[in-house]
Amino acid sequence: MTPEKFRALVSAVLIIGVAVSAALIGAGFVAALAVGWQGSLAGAAAATAPTTDFSNLPGRLAVLEPAAITQLGLVTLLATPVARVAASVGGFVLERDRLYAAITLAVLLILLTSIFVLR
């Protein structure tokens, strides 16, 4: 993989992450103007959990709750740097740069450990 393609790959991961999350966050925001953050675009009963509660995302997305749509966007945004590091591991492997493939893999493992273990 050429350095240009590598940069294009990492840049594309960031652009897609940012675009998808901005679209979801914006869609939830606009929907909230119509039916309120805890309302439902599908006509279901209003949610009782506070908008800071990220649990049961699939169920709340199914009834198109504005808070849930924005929450999915926020989770996508928070996952974007992790996806960027993962893509960089692949990039360095394809560039046959063993040193940096190892460094980036170590960063990815530390990152995943701190997200899923230290809480």
Q: Which residue type sits at 74?
A: L
Q: Does 74 bind another protein (CB under 8 A)?
A: yes
Helices 66-94 and 98-116 pack at an angle, to 10 degrees, of 150
- Give 78-83's long-range contacts (Cβ < 8 A, gap of 24+): 79/17, 80/13, 80/14, 80/17, 80/18, 80/21, 82/108, 82/111, 82/112, 82/115, 83/13, 83/17
Q: How far apart are CA 34 and CA 55, in angstroms?
A: 23
Among 41, 82, 86, 94, binds another protein (CB under 8 A): 82
Confirm if 117 and 50 have CB atoms less than 8 A apart.
no
**Choices 40-48, 56-64, 68-76 (CB under 8 A): range interacting with another protein:** 68-76
Report the nearest approach of another protein to the CB of residue 45 (Å).
19
Q: Does 115 bind another protein (CB under 8 A)?
A: yes
Report the nearest approach of another protein to the CB of residue 44 (Å).
18
Residues that bind another protein (CB under 8 A): 6-8, 10-11, 14-15, 17-18, 21-22, 25-26, 28-29, 32-33, 37, 50-54, 66-67, 70-71, 73-75, 77-82, 84-85, 88, 92, 97, 99-100, 103-104, 106-107, 110-111, 113-116, 118-119
